[in-house]
Amino acid sequence: MITVGIRGAITVEKNTKECIFASTKELVSEIMKQNNLKEQDIASIIFTATPDLDAAFPAAAVREMGLNEAALLDAVEMNVKSSMPRVIRVLMHVNVKEGFKPKHIYLKEAVKLRSDMFCKK
CATH class for the region spanning 2-118: alpha beta
Whether residue 113 is predicted with pLDDT greater than 90 in this model: the reply is no
Whether residue 121 is predicted with pLDDT greater than 80 in this model: the reply is no
pLDDT 10s digits, 44-69: 999 999 999 999 999 999 999 999 99
**How is the chain split into domains, by residue range?**
2-118
pTM of the model: 0.91
Residues near 111 by beta carbon (within 8 Å), at least 6 away in sequence: 117, 118
Exposure letters 8-24 (e unless 16+ CB within 10 A, then b): bbbbbeebeeebbbebb
Whether residue 2 is predicted with pLDDT greater than 50 in this model: the reply is yes
